[in-house]
Structure 1
Amino acid sequence: MHRNPVDHALSLANAGKTAQACALLADAGTQGSAEAWMQLAVWYLIGAPVARDLDQARACLARAVAIGHVDGALMEIALIANGNGGRDTPDWPRALQALDVAAREDPVATTQRALLAKMNIRADGSPQAAPIGQVLHEATRLRRFPRLLTPEECAHLAATAQPLLEPSFVLDPGSGRPMPHPIRTSDGGAIGPTREDLAVRAINLRIAAATGTDVRNGEPLTVLRYAPGQQYRRHLDTIAGAANQRVATLIIYLNQGFAGGETCFPAIGVTVQPRAGDAILFDTLLPDGSPDPRLVHSGEPIRAGAKWIATRWIRQAPVDPWTIASG
């Protein structure tokens, strides 16, 4: 019996025989295995067990797509639209053209294309007009954007992030082992460059317009799900010692029909009731660049149901989505 080359390569990689594993996959790919090229592309994208090499990843991905790898085609479309995660120039028209081709046979691409058709966007995927927020607290520039996303767009974000959700953990400073997050008791997942399909990309461009920032300054859009009893205790969104600090936070409420889960700003006496599709935006720094203590906030415990939100943390300068920690 012939062994599956991808399974064989994975076994070799686990045994530390990385070069042999890569050679096996390349040989299998040359003989027509789209899965082999896709596995190599994934290795080069994540940087394990080989060093991260985005050029090699794209080359392998292109070979997989040429043979007919459907998921690879959607990943390639995402990378075309976002410019390979910021390494190249984004090309929305070419990505949209590729999505149209994929939509002829792939139902996932068809769904994405239908969602895009309902968005009021420009030729580069950005919104026709910047969303306008309502001031909730003047001194801190806390704003609310009613209906920033449609119900379909909210559902798309939740569905895209669903396979990525993991319990919130941090590393124990003593042992170095993962431990439950002491502040955030939720399940979360970041939508990175390979999963930033055109609908997600258009949403990120809308967020950039709402915040008046460059889309490259945003961390990967992170979706969080809170079950009964889970919460996000009082905290600031800034990161101690960060060279490229977070300057703003935008939170989108993706659903309603749950109890609890209010976003509370105790220092300024503001409590925001979640409403599906609405977003709130606040700056995180004072004019001197220090964290604004007035914007300590919490996501109150869920009493019933499940709360879904999407958060985009905005930095002072462009970030590398391949290496940045979501924080």
Structure 2
Amino acid sequence: MTEDPVARADQLLREGHAREAVDLILEASASGHADALFRNAMWKLAGEPIARDLPGARALLRRASTQGNADATLVEIALTANGSGAPNDWPGALALLESIADHHTVAAEHRALLRRMTLTIDGGPAHIPTAEKIGKHPCVQYIPRLFTQEECLHVAYSAADLLEPAMVADPRTGASIPNAVRTSDSAVIGPTRETLVIQALNRRVAAVSNTDWRQGEALSVLRYRPGQQFRPHIDALPATRNQRIRTVLIYLNDGFSGGATYFVHNALRVTPRMGDAIIFDNVRADGSIDPTTRHAGEPVTNGVKWLATRWIRARPFSVWNGPESAADDVRSTIS
């Protein structure tokens, strides 16, 4: 039996033979091997062990998809809709989803969820939910049932296998150490994992927060077990040319104790309820950081809390172009 070139390339990488692994995948890709084409594409997205090339990755995903690799089609769908490597094309992404949904369980589930949404031609919400102001200094807006139960479960499931303890870099050694402020587990649903359901929800968040969906960072998911918390902090960044001007928090479940969101300055406490969301600005009208936005995720005392966070920048934001890299997201997809 001929050895699987992808398995062999993985072994070569583990042994430190990156050049040989790349040559093997390039050769297999040239011969039309579907899995090798997919691996080649994911490497080009990750930027390792070969240079990042988004348009090139898109072309390889198309070839892998036509060779029957459904995973390649799912990634192609995500990138088509979010505009990675080419202009975003929601109708085109929907057409790709339809092309495999009848014989691919995951794609069928995504299609079913999308059909239960009322969307515009570009994936935005046809109707914008109404927000209620519940706090001043900072101004906090509350949106009941922004996400349905099914949508909350989809978000949590999309991130579940990526969850890791929150870490920060030790300023003395550079080594990763546990985050003393945020003790939860966290994950980011990056561009290769943005199902059309996730992207439709991101567009809904943009609409309700009066922003463009391109301004949002990748959706972050946090899981808090008993005793875990996010101590008082400010979401705005201390030094950046594209500030986090707004935060949207979506509570993905309820049925646990503790875990309220607490705003220190005005002693506002928001009790989580599945699907509900809150919105608050992180900056003043002049663009400076607003210290009154200091808030905390109080310790969970019983059960598990799931939360999604969408940080919204002042201008369009892309993980492909900024210092934040999507390599970890891509790596998790191909491992």
TM-score (norm 2): 0.93
Matched, 1:50 2:50: yes
Name 1:325's counterpart in structure 2.
Answer: 324
CA distance in 2, matches of 1:286, 1:32: 55
CA distance in 1, matches of 2:273, 2:180: 27
- Structure 1 unaligned spans of 5+: none
Matched, 1:26 2:26: yes
Structure 2 residue corresponding to 1:154, chosen from 152, 155, 164 = 152
Matched, 1:9 2:13: no
CA distance in 2, matches of 1:128, 1:138: 29
- Structure 2 unaligned spans of 5+: 326-335
Name 2:332's counterpart in structure 1.
Answer: none
CA distance in 2, matches of 1:159, 1:303: 23
Name 2:241's counterpart in structure 1.
Answer: 243
Matched, 1:168 2:166: yes
CA deviations over 1:107-158 (Å, ceiling 9, x no partner)? 1010000000110111111011222210011443210000000000001000
CA distance in 1, matches of 2:66, 2:29: 11
Question: CA offset at residue 32 of structure 1?
Answer: 4.1
Give the number of equivalent residue pairs: 324
Question: CA offset at residue 172 of structure 1?
Answer: 0.7
Contact in 2 for aligned 1:18/1:50 (Cα 8 Å) = no
Name 2:36's counterpart in structure 1.
Answer: 36
Structure 2 residue corresponding to 1:89, chosen from 87, 90, 103 = 87
Residue type of the partner of 2:324?
A
CA distance in 1, matches of 2:63, 2:19: 20
Contact in 2 for aligned 1:122/1:128 (Cα 8 Å) = yes
Aligned-residue Cα RMSD (Å) equals: 1.6
Structure 2 residue corresponding to 1:135, chosen from 125, 133, 136 = 133
Residue type of the partner of 2:310?
R
Range that drifts further, 156-165 or 49-58: 49-58
Residue type of the partner of 2:107?
A
CA distance in 2, matches of 1:54, 1:89: 12
Question: CA offset at residue 8 of structure 1?
Answer: 2.4
CA distance in 2, matches of 1:44, 1:18: 14
Name 2:117's counterpart in structure 1.
Answer: 119
Question: CA offset at residue 3 of structure 1?
Answer: 3.5
Q: 1:148 to 1:196 in 2, by over 3 A?
A: same
Question: CA offset at residue 12 of structure 1?
Answer: 3.4
TM-score (norm 1): 0.95
Percent identity between matched residues is: 47
Question: CA offset at residue 14 of structure 1?
Answer: 4.5
CA distance in 1, matches of 2:165, 2:156: 16
Question: CA offset at residue 21 of structure 1?
Answer: 2.2
CA distance in 2, matches of 1:3, 1:73: 24
